[in-house]
């Protein structure tokens, strides 16, 4: 088992990565401060792993909220189901919530934990690649609004993250690949050596080689933990984690939540950012080609959906947390391994990139 730390003074917490972690009762139990525990999961993950987690919690009062599965349910109505369960069962302020699932369950549980009685403890047990390499770490929690992805939320850190790689065995290939988009993102924004490693080892990763997967989860979490430790509330450097996300979120919202997986939309968003960076004279043609080649090798999509018009993309991108005074701001690339902070980009340039993509 590998143990990493997110260093945030009194809010610091460990990330455990390894095999068989859900069988290790004491790993989980030592972070629980009272008898009352609510496990939040969904209808897909519960039949697979809920019993395993409940078995570790024999002596506690364990309740379960079972959410429907899908990005389209990541909203306030369904967070309310978590509050209902907490209130009906008279959960106190020292209760603990456990998020057992992918990024959707993790984001919603964390947000519910941040709000319930102004904050109760929560633990992340991420069960997708995307959640293990990205969403379970760093304390961004929240839900979608019909007009904008993740626009309602809070910064709220978990007590710990338990990433048991064994649970990835039941994940389908499309979901595995979607998680790899965020992995490639780390290489692009600050870790050129990792990007090169991915170019060489992507096939192993797609074959689910255990050592390759473990390495990728660890290195991704290291990157994320370092950025979060430096800038918990995204007043600066943390924004680079949003590479590809402004455009990616526009695709997710515009096409309807759930149509494109988050990681798929981010992959297309990365191509968009690479093209724009190249137009600005930063990223070389060769680097753009390497980026697109790696995404394609990973079997990620690189072309935006044709269903949305340029004007719709612009409109959708104008609802984003990085924007200031309503102006679109984007994370771009200076080179592979070096991202920019958010910058205003002329609308005409964005339009050129969009038209270029639309063919």
Ligand X SMILES: NC(=O)c1ccc[n+]([C@@H]2O[C@H](COP(=O)([O-])OP(=O)(O)OC[C@H]3O[C@@H](n4cnc5c(N)ncnc54)[C@H](O)[C@@H]3O)[C@@H](O)[C@H]2O)c1
Q: Which of 90, 118, 200, 207 is catalytic?
A: 118
Rg of the chain on CA atoms, in Å: 20
Residue 279 or 299: the one with the smaller Cβ distance to ligand X is 299
CA pair distance 230, 252, nearest whole angstrom: 29
Q: Is 234 a catalytic residue?
A: yes
**CB-wise, 36 or 150, nearer to ligand X?**
150
Residue 105 Cβ vs ligand X, minimum distance, rounded to whole Å: 6
Active site annotation includes 307: no
In angstroms, the Cα distances linking 349 to 219, 272, 283, 291, 311 are: 34, 11, 15, 20, 13
**CA-based torsion, 150, 139, 130, 50: positive or negative:** negative
E strands within the chain?
2-6, 13-18, 36-42, 61-67, 96-101, 121-126, 140-145, 148-155, 161-164, 329-330, 333-335, 338-339, 343-344
Catalytic position from the list 74, 185, 224, 329:
224
Residue 63: CB atoms within 10 A of its CB come to 17
Give catalytic status of residue 211 as yes or no.
Answer: no
Tell me the residue number closest to ligand X, measured at CB: 103
Q: Please give the backbone phi and psi of residue 95, each rounded to the nearest 5 degrees, phi first.
A: -70, 165
Per-residue burial over 252-265, b if 16 or more Cβ lie within 10 Å, else e, is: bbbbebeebbbbbb
Closest distance of CB 217 from ligand X, Å: 13
Residue 90 annotated in active site: no
- Token duo for residue 46: 């519960």
Residues that bind ligand X (CB under 6 A): 42, 44-45, 48, 69, 71, 74, 101-105, 107, 127-128, 130-131, 134-135, 138, 140, 150, 167, 170-171, 175, 178, 262-263
> Smallest gap, in angstroms, from Cβ of residue 336 to ligand X?
21
Q: Is 25 part of the annotated catalytic residue set?
A: no
* 238 flagged as catalytic: yes
Q: Smallest distance from the beta carbon of 101 to ligand X, in angstroms?
A: 5
Within a 13 Å sphere around the CA of 94, how many CA atoms are in the beta-carbon half? 6
Burial class (CB in 10 A: 0-12, 13-18, 19+), 204: middle
Nearer to ligand X, 171 or 316 (CB): 171
Nearer to ligand X, 36 or 132 (CB): 132
Catalytic residue among 78, 140, 190, 219, which? Answer: 140
Q: How far is the CB of 131 from ligand X (least distance, A)?
A: 4
- The phi, psi pair for 154, rounded to 5°, reads -150, 155
Among the options 222, 234, 252, 264, which is catalytic? Answer: 234
> Between β-strands 2-6 and 13-18, what pairing exists: parallel, antiparallel or unpaired?
antiparallel
Q: Are strands 13-18 and 333-335 parallel, antiparallel or unpaired?
A: unpaired
Q: How far is the CB of 71 from ligand X (least distance, A)?
A: 5
Tokens of 254: 């515009």
Is 252 or 287 the residue whose CB approaches ligand X more closely?
A: 252
Beta bridge partners of 140: 155
| Given the residues 42, 71, 182, 322, the one annotated as active site | 182
Nearest to 54 by CA among 81, 30, 79, 29: 29
- Name the active-site residue from 149, 190, 262, 322: 262
* CB of 179 or CB of 304, closer to ligand X: 179
**Minimum CB distance to ligand X, residue 199 (Å):** 23
Question: Does 182 participate in catalysis according to the annotation?
Answer: yes
Of 140 and 290, nearer to ligand X (C-beta) is: 140
State the catalytic residue, choosing from 185, 249, 321, 329: 249
Provide the annotated active-site residues: 118, 140, 182, 224, 234, 238, 242, 245, 249, 262
């Amino acid at each position: 088992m590998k143990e990493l730390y997110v260093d945030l003074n009194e809010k610091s917490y460990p990330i455990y990565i390894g095999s068989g972690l859900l069988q290790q009762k004491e790993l989980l139990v030592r972070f629980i401060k009272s008898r009352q525990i609510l496990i939040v999961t969904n209808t897909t993950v519960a039949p697979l792993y809920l019993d395993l987690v409940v078995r570790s919690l024999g002596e506690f009062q364990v309740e379960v909220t079972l959410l429907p599965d899908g990005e389209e349910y990541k909203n306030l109505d369904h967070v309310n189901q978590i509050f209902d369960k907490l209130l009906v069962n008279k959960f106190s302020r020292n209760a603990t919530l456990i998020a057992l699932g992918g990024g959707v369950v993790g984001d919603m549980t964390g947000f519910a934990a941040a709000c319930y009685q102004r904050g109760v403890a929560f633990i992340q047990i991420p069960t997708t690649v995307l959640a293990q390499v990205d969403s379970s770490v760093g304390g961004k929690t929240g839900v979608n609004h019909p007009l904008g992805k993740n626009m309602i939320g809070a910064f709220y850190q978990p007590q710990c993250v338990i990433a048991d790689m064994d649970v990835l065995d039941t994940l389908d290939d499309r979901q595995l690949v979607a998680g790899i988009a965020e992995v490639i993102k780390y290489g692009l924004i600050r870790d050129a050596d990792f990007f090169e490693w991915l170019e060489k080892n992507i096939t192993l990763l797609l074959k689910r080689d255990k050592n390759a997967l473990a390495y990728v989860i660890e290195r991704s979490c290291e990157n994320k933990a370092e950025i979060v430790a430096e800038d918990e509330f995204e007043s600066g450097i943390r924004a680079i984690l949003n590479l590809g996300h402004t455009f990616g979120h526009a695709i997710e919202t515009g096409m309807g939540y759930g149509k494109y997986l988050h990681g798929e939309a981010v992959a297309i968003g990365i191509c968009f950012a690479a093209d724009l960076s190249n137009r600005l004279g930063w990223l070389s043609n060769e680097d753009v080609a390497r980026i697109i080649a790696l995404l394609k090798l990973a079997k990620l999509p690189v072309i935006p959906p044709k269903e949305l018009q340029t004007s719709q993309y612009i409109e959708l991108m104008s609802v984003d947390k990085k924007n200031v005074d309503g102006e679109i701001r984007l994370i771009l690339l200076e080179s592979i391994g070096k991202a920019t902070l958010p910058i205003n980009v002329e609308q005409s340039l964005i339009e050129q990139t969009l038209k270029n993509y639309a063919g």
